[in-house]
Each structure stands twice: as structure tokens, then as C-alpha cells.
């Protein structure tokens, strides 16, 4: 039986009710009675939680008060005046009040140059990178620490709050990427010494909790050093954080390297590219793109792990917020709750921004790039 189509089948629009919001809800939210029940139950739960939060943080909350008096009344909600009163301290820590303009300059410079780096269309990328990665840290250090141009010295003990958190996190983030790449390459190296050193470093650091690294750096390290040699507490925390982040970063990068087909290496070699050019031009751009989510995951982890430096006596954001709870002027049953909620919001803003930015970069690099 032969069959030959003699007329074109018509191209029709999709049936009514099969696309659009109604179809979506019917398909995704209420496909069967049981899932409809589940949808309603979860929606109800969210409503209850949302209402309670709104009630506590908004309706019953105290919005302005000179001290703990109003917050201590039974049945009140969040104690927002505490947050307003302490907010400067949360940002600057114990940095001397009349010197805080120095910190502000660092913030402004940092935000401008970081924005320049993060906006893909910004033309002077190389100069911007040079400024942000080399010149800016030097400027920032001397502004923070002082001691030149007649700026009074501010010891690192006085650095604190969000500023300290950012110092540790940004240094860790910026150093962990190149170190992580080198460690990942080292781990794949055919040179036994390089390979062994990389593996020992990665596994050694990953095998120990961050808190232990910090304790060892602050408590045990001085015991092994000659008397009088005791590097700055903050410096030790920064080095510890960077080492820790690098080891994790190395494994993330290694994951990306493993996804690159052998043919890419061979094609690069056959064209005469040297090892470093091959890595830089062919392998890393592809490998790093694949592991953007993992890299950002590491950044976020590190950002949050900085809160552990509290235990070695540094007052990062978490430390300074908690210190405020003991202020007799503001002690109330709701002070702690309010402080932690505000703290969570601040951490969330930073981490969520990193996450969104990475998704933006991912979708950008995906354009026209199908394998």
C-alpha cells in the first residue's frame, strides 16, 4: 500500500486552555486531588508563618525608643531601635569614630572599582582589574591602618563589624581563585613532587574544620614561634581563611577540568600551544564556566564562615552584633531576636547578590555556546 500526501496538514494554534496562567496552575498546582491538597496545605503554612513574622516584626514591633524601656514591655515584637542605634557599630566595629571617614573612602573606592569589574560592558577591564586586585588592597590597608601621611595608627584590634567581615571574605575570595586553580593543576600534574604537595595541602586543609584552623593559628602557632614573634591575629585569620577557601576551590576547579574532553587538550597541543597557554586560552575558560555555581558556592561559604573568627576574639559582624546584646541600655527579651533577624538580612543580601550575579554571568556565557 503506497501513500502519498496530497495536501498540507493545516498549522493550527494551540487549543484554548492548554497554555497560559490557568493551564499552568491546573497543570503544576492542582493536577490531582492529592496534589491540590498539598498545594493548599503548603500555601496555608506559608500564610501562617508570614502572618506571624509580619505581626512580630511589624505590627507589634517597637520602631523608635531611646532605650530598652519600650522593648521590655511584655507582648512587644521586634526591637528595631536597637538595630538603628547599633547600626554604625555593626558596620565600623570599634573603629575610632572620628577616623571612620577612612573606612568610608575604602568602601566608596571598593564599590566603584568592583562595579567596574562586574559590569561586562565596561571597557577598561584591564586597568580596572589592576586597580582592584593590586592598588586597591594597598590603599585600603594604609587607610585602615594609617601611619602614613599623618594618619593616626588604628590597630587591627579596633577593626570590626561588617568591615572586618568584608576584609576577610574579599581577601579570601580574591586569593582563593588563583590559588585554587594552581592547586587543581598541581593535583593533575605529572610531576610527582608538585602533585604530592598539592594533594597533601588540599586533603590536609579539607580534612580539618575551619574552626580548628583558626584555633591552631591563634593559640598553637605562637607556641612554635620564637618569643615575641606573634603575627597579627587578623592576618592569621585572613591567611587561614584564604588557605581554607583555596583548598575547596581547588576541588571545584578540578571538577571542571575533568569535564573537559581530552580532544581539547590534544587539539591545543597539536596547534603548538604551550602548557600554560593551553590552560589559559582553551581549558580554563571552559572549565571555570562549567563550575561557576561551585565557585560561587565557595564564595558564599567563605563569606558565612568568616563569622567563625569571633571565637578567636575578632569582632566581625556576628561578633559585634552579639556584643551589642550585652549592652545594659538595650537588654530586653526581644533584643537578641531582632538583632539576629537584622543580621540574617544583611548576610542574605550579600550572599543572594553573589548568587544572582553568578546566574547572570552563567546565562551570559551561555549565549550562542551550545556544544
Partner 1 sequence: MTKTEKDIPAVELNHVNKWYGQFHVLRDINLNVAKGERIVICGPSGSGKSTLIRCINRLEEHQQGDIVVDGIPLTGNLKNIDDVRREVGMVFQHFNLFPHLTILENLTLAPIWVRKTPKAVAEANAMKYLTRVKIPEQANKYPGQLSGGQQQRVAIARALCMNPKIMLFDEPTSALDPEMIKEVLEVMVDLAEGGMTMLCVTHEMAFARQVADRVIFMDEGQIVEENSPKEFFTNPQSPRTRKFLEQILH
Nearest Cα to Cα of residue 322 among 95, 86, 88, 163: 86
Return the residues of window 244-263 that contact partner 1 according to CB under 8 A.
Answer: 261, 263
Identify the residue among 76, 264, 297, 322 touching partner 1 (CB under 8 A): 264
Distance from chain centroid for Cα 269: 37
Residues 81, 335: Cα–Cα separation, whole Å: 9
CB of 369 to partner 1, least distance (A): 6
Stretch that binds partner 1, among 11-19, 238-246, 273-281, 292-300 (CB under 8 A): 273-281
Cα dihedral sign for 91, 96, 98, 103?
negative
The stretch near partner 1 (CB under 8 A) out of 77-85, 162-170, 230-238, 270-278 is 270-278
Query: Nearest approach, Cβ of 273 to partner 1 (angstroms)?
Result: 6
329-368 residues in contact with partner 1 (CB under 8 A) are 368
Of residues 212 and 274, the one with the C-beta less far from partner 1: 274
| Start-to-end CA span in the chain (Å) | 42
As a whole number of angstroms, the distance between CA 110 and CA 92 comes to 15
369 contacts partner 1 (rule: CB under 8 A) = yes
Q: For residues 236 and 164, what is the distance between their CA atoms, to the nearest angstrom?
A: 13
Cβ-based nearer residue to partner 1, 135 or 267: 267
Q: Does 276 bind partner 1 (CB under 8 A)?
A: no
> Would you tell me how many other CB atoms lie within 10 Å of the CB of residue 291?
21
Contact between residue 341 and residue 78 where contact means Cβ atoms under 8 Å apart: yes
**Residue 195 beta carbon to partner 1: minimum distance, rounded to whole angstroms:** 19
Task: Confirm or reject binding of residue 371 to partner 1 (CB under 8 A).
Answer: yes
Which set of grid coordinates corresponds to residue 215?
584555633
CA angle at 84 for the pair 144 and 56, rounded to the nearest 5°? 135
Pick one of 109, 151, 239, 273: the residue that binds partner 1 (CB under 8 A).
273
**Residues 287-326 contacting partner 1, CB under 8 A:** 289
What residues line the site for partner 1 (CB under 8 A)? 261, 263-264, 266-274, 277, 281-282, 285-286, 289, 368-371
Amino acid at each position: 500500500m503506497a501513500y502519498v500526501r496530497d495536501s498540507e496538514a493545516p498549522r493550527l494554534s494551540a487549543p484554548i486552555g492548554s497554555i497560559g496562567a490557568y493551564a499552568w496552575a491546573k497543570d503544576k498546582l492542582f493536577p490531582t486531588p492529592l496534589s491540590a491538597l498539598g498545594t493548599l496545605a503548603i500555601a496555608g503554612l506559608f500564610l501562617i508563618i508570614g502572618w506571624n513574622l509580619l505581626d512580630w516584626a511589624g505590627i507589634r514591633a517597637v520602631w523608635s525608643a531611646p532605650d530598652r524601656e519600650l522593648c521590655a514591655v511584655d507582648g512587644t515584637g521586634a526591637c528595631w531601635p536597637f538595630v538603628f542605634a547599633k547600626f554604625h557599630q555593626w558596620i565600623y566595629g570599634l573603629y575610632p569614630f572620628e577616623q571612620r571617614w577612612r573606612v568610608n573612602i575604602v568602601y566608596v573606592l571598593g564599590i566603584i572599582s568592583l562595579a567596574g569589574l562586574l559590569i561586562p560592558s565596561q571597557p577598561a577591564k584591564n586597568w580596572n582589574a589592576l586597580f582592584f586586585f593590586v592598588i586597591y588592597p594597598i590603599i585600603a590597608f594604609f587607610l585602615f591602618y594609617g601611619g602614613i601621611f599623618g594618619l593616626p595608627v588604628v590597630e587591627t584590634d579596633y577593626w570590626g563589624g561588617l568591615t572586618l567581615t568584608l576584609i576577610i571574605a574579599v581577601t579570601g575570595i580574591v586569593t582563593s581563585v588563583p590559588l585554587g586553580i594552581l592547586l587543581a593543576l598541581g593535583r593533575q600534574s605529572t610531576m610527582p613532587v608538585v602533585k604530592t604537595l598539592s594533594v597533601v595541602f588540599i586533603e590536609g586543609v579539607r580534612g580539618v574544620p575551619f574552626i580548628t584552623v583558626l584555633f591552631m593559628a591563634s593559640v598553637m602557632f605562637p607556641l612554635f614561634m620564637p618569643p615575641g614573634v606573634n603575627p597579627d591575629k587578623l592576618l592569621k585569620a585572613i591567611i587561614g581563611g584564604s588557605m581554607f577557601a583555596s583548598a575547596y576551590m581547588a576541588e571545584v576547579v578540578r571538577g571542571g577540568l575533568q569535564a573537559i574532553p581530552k580532544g581539547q587538550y590534544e587539539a591545543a597541543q597539536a596547534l603548538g600551544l604551550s602548557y600554560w597557554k593551553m590552560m589559559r586560552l582553551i581549558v580554563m575558560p571552559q572549565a571555570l564556566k562549567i563550575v561557576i555555581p561551585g565557585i560561587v558556592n565557595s564564595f558564599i561559604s567563605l563569606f558565612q564562615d568568616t563569622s567563625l573568627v569571633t571565637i578567636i576574639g575578632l569582632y566581625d559582624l556576628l561578633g559585634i552584633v552579639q556584643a551589642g546584646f550585652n549592652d545594659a541600655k538595650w537588654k530586653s527579651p526581644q533584643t537578641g531576636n531582632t538583632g539576629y533577624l537584622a543580621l540574617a538580612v544583611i548576610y542574605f543580601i550579600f550572599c543572594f547578590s553573589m548568587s544572582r550575579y553568578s546566574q547572570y554571568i552563567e546565562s551570559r556565557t551561555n549565549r550562542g555556546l551550545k556544544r
